[in-house]
Amino acid sequence: MTTFNTTKDLDAIKAYANVCFQCGVCMGGCPVARVNDRFHPRRLIRELAIGSSEDVLKGETIWLCAQCHICSETCPQGIGIPDLIIGLRNFAINIGVLPPESFVKNVKQLVETGRLVPPSSRIEQLRDRLGLGRIEQAAAEEVQHLITNTKFKKLVNSKRENQ
């Protein structure tokens, strides 16, 4: 299994795709492939290895992975497919692809409050009822300092036309 710490080298990602011998074990265990025929990890790897990586980067497939890691645990060639997909996601955003709306929403929320879910009076009331204390927003400032990658800024300021 492999993890990618940099997003820069698409060739490194493709090198892993090369060893795939198309056995389909990943497909057997993949939850998304079971219920959605638009997601096909085996074909994704093949496309990377011998097809068009540009199609892969600009397509919707890479965003449908549930990151459950069944495929990487069972792959007889040891290909870390979920990590590969994260690498592709990073790379895609680098070249200007907009991630799904839910991801953008999360980014905006994280930058604003340091968490994925905004505080609300409703939640405060619920917590009160259950005898739980307040939730502090202590992380926000430090998180903002740490997020220096310009991709985040672009996403925070992005607006979707339709959808």
Q: How far is the CB of 93 from another protein (least distance, A)?
A: 6
Does residue 74 bind another protein (CB under 8 A)?
A: yes
Does residue 13 bind another protein (CB under 8 A)?
A: no
Q: Which of 65, 96, 93, 69 minimizes the C-alpha distance to 7?
A: 93
Does residue 9 bind another protein (CB under 8 A)?
A: no
Nearer to another protein, 68 or 95 (CB): 68
Distance of alpha carbon 10 from alpha carbon 18, whole angstroms: 12
- The CA-based angle 31-32-36, given to 5 degrees, is 130
Selected from 10, 16, 39, 47, the binder of another protein by CB under 8 A is 39
Does residue 8 bind another protein (CB under 8 A)?
A: no
Tell which positions 99-158 bind another protein, by CB under 8 A. Answer: 99-100, 102-103, 106-107, 110, 114-120, 123, 126-127, 129-132, 135-136, 138-140, 142-143, 145-149, 151-152, 155
Give CA 23 to chain center in angstroms. 25
Nearer to another protein, 14 or 151 (CB): 151
Distance of alpha carbon 57 from alpha carbon 90, whole angstroms: 10
Distance of alpha carbon 85 from alpha carbon 57, whole angstroms: 10
Q: How far is the CB of 81 from another protein (least distance, A)?
A: 11
Does residue 37 bind another protein (CB under 8 A)?
A: yes
- DSSP states of 29-62: H-HHHHH-TT--HHHHHHHHHHS-HHHHHHSSGG
Selected from 14, 49, 53, 90, the binder of another protein by CB under 8 A is 90
